[in-house]
Amino acid sequence: MADAMIQIDAVSHRYTGKQGRIDALNAVSLSFRPGELALVTGPSGSGKTTLLLAVGGMRRPTEGTVRVGGDDLYALTAAERARFRAAHIGFVFQTLELIPYLSAFENVLLAATPRGAGQTETRQRAEQRLVDLGLADRLHHKPRQLSQGERQRVAIARAMLNGPKVILADEPSGNLDPDNAHAAFAALRAFADAGGTVLVATHSTLHHDQADRVVTLRGGVVADTVHESIHV
């Protein structure tokens, strides 16, 4: 598909180690378009995180290709891939990885280049991302002074700082109460509505109605794809 934002072709991933071999992904082919928010569900161990890491340029598949915005990620050199990732892909992990000694604002700015972090335009953008996520009066709080849901939104603001094409979120609403989970999800939905592509790996069925599509993995194979009716 020419207009795919993410194009995954026949991707397999095998982990090999002392415990033997695990086929985490088996010939997965999927494509996602701009403006699409897709949930990736499936039981624990079904390959969701492995798939997100492959799409994020962080885990080279044993076989197959991953294209993001037309670029074949694993045909790039490691340095090119790192640059591509910084410019075009935002990540939100369940552990959030906020720096405890920095404020919400400074944590968002971490996603900027060293030069960008000093620029007024970048700083205004960092602030705006936090304001958009309802954190206008939490800019200078440290992570420990924030609720889990607020930390979550800081991590989402950071993922959005550079105006990426794609956001990959692994269990972003884990440990959140429904209101906070909803706020986090609304931000991802808005990002997709503005033309980005979002993949959310989750066990939760809470947000199925806000997704354009639900992809279910089982044993590293795409078991089912449900296209939701148009979200509101």
Q: Which of residues 206-225 bind ligand ATP (CB under 6 A)?
A: none
Contact status, residue 135 vs residue 160, Cβ threshold 8 Å: no
Q: Tokens in use for 151?
A: 């930390």
Q: Which of residues 7-46 bind ligand ATP (CB under 6 A)?
A: 15, 17, 22, 24, 42, 44-46
Q: Determine if 180 is a binding residue for Mg ion (CB under 5 A).
A: no
The CA-atom distances, in angstroms, between 118 and each of 63, 107, 175 are: 41, 14, 34
Contact status, residue 169 vs residue 199, Cβ threshold 8 Å: yes
- Residue 153 interface partner, choices Mg ion, ligand ATP, none, CB cut-off 5-8 Å depending on type: none
- Please report how close the Cβ of residue 58 comes to ligand ATP at its closest, in angstroms: 11
Q: Under 8 Å CB-to-CB from 113, ≥6 apart: which residues?
A: 86
Strand order in the sheet with 89-92: 89-92, 166-170, 197-201, 37-41, 213-218, 221-227
Q: Which of 49, 152, 162, 210 binds Mg ion (CB under 5 A)?
A: 49
- Please report how close the Cβ of residue 115 comes to Mg ion at its closest, in angstroms: 34
Q: Cβ closer to ligand ATP: 167 or 215?
A: 215
- Residue 46 interface partner, choices ligand ATP, Mg ion, none, CB cut-off 5-8 Å depending on type: ligand ATP
* Residues forming the site for Mg ion (CB under 5 A): 48-49
